Amino acid sequence: MELGSRDAFDRMGTLGIEEEFFIVDEAGRPTSGIADLVYGPDPPDPIVGAVDHELFACTIEVQTPRIEDPGNAREALIDVRNALIDHAESQGYRIAGAGLHPEARWRELDHARKPRYRSQLDRIQYPQHRNTTAGVHVHVGVDDADAAVWVANELRWYMPVLLALSANSPFWNGFDTGLASARAKIFENLPNTGMPSRFDDFEAFRRYERRMVEHGSIGDRGELWFDVRPHTQHGTVEVRAPDGQRDPDRTLAFAEYVHALVVDLAERYADGESGTDTRRELLDENKWRALRHGHDAAFITPAGEDVVSLPEVVDRECDRLGVTGIREVLDAESGTERQRRLHEEDGVGALCADLELRRR
């Protein structure tokens, strides 16, 4: 039984970034490359032991090492991305970044053979068979288990904000869905996804995690795929809301914001704040607004009395936390807008080429 413990929460403010990508051929179309990239020649040093499967054979995940100083996040992320690009090119592949690849047609793509994924496919069936999604996951260390659960509770309201900023998946299975983040909607068809409930403390979360494994609902604790969760193995709060990204600066902006949020909330917990208890239905509504409208979304406030636009939230958060990246993301063309524009102006081939990662 793979379960973590209270003792894992022993570091404050460390940072880790996981990114999921698509393996594509020279035409920019998804192709089955996991066996070559995971089981072939050893990758370059920055990603030795940090390259792993995803569900489809055309998807792959890499992760930074634990970053003690968030000021080193850019260097760590760029090194990992460059190493992955080089490793893929050495095997005849390229790497693309988006929440969904516009040419990933799930009926035509192979699933990975890893036993864990075969078990998920057997248990979940149709929703997992079509899960061609790719996201960004940000881990921030918290040095107290109860604080980590409290922080994760409070972070729930901010998950739609991150989703709206990161929206980068209008196309799925070859057509325009009309959504800013179709990835979020496709992914939340799986069990144990989306907006989690509020947990009273670490023991309440651990009890839930243990029961889910013991009752056969999940194979291991890693299959609690909520938008935000305390990670009981790594001792972190993990945010899983953003779409996958081509541009590393956007990933870094989300990591900067998440890190600042977690540190701020941990300090507020230490100061004895009681926290909020926003109805989950309102949080779900905010997520719908984010995945439907992206940068044009507006959100119901935690108290449920008002609505606030994404620009208003970003301005407030940048001033409050001293971050800058999410304002730059908001001021620029969104990933969804860029994809639609390129598709309309130059066609799907140009869009596929634009999604490919380049060395920095």
Rounded CA separation 102/131 (Å): 13
Rounded CA separation 194/228 (Å): 8
Q: In terms of Cα–Cα distance, which of 100, 86, 64, 87 is closest to 248?
A: 64
Pairing outcome for strands 94-96 and 171-172 = unpaired
Enter the pTM of the model.
Answer: 0.97
Tokens coding 260? 């600042």
- Do 233 and 224 meet the contact criterion of CB atoms below 8 Å apart? no
Quote the pLDDT of residue 2: 61
Q: In which residue are the tokens 């208890």 written? A: 277
Quote the pLDDT of residue 5: 85
Stretches in the chain below the pLDDT threshold 50 = none
> pLDDT tens, 256-305?
999 999 999 999 999 999 999 999 999 999 999 999 999 999 999 999 99
Tokens coding 187? 């992914």
Q: Where are the domains of the chain?
A: 6-354
Q: Which class would CATH give 6-354?
A: alpha beta
3 state DSSP class of 100 = strand
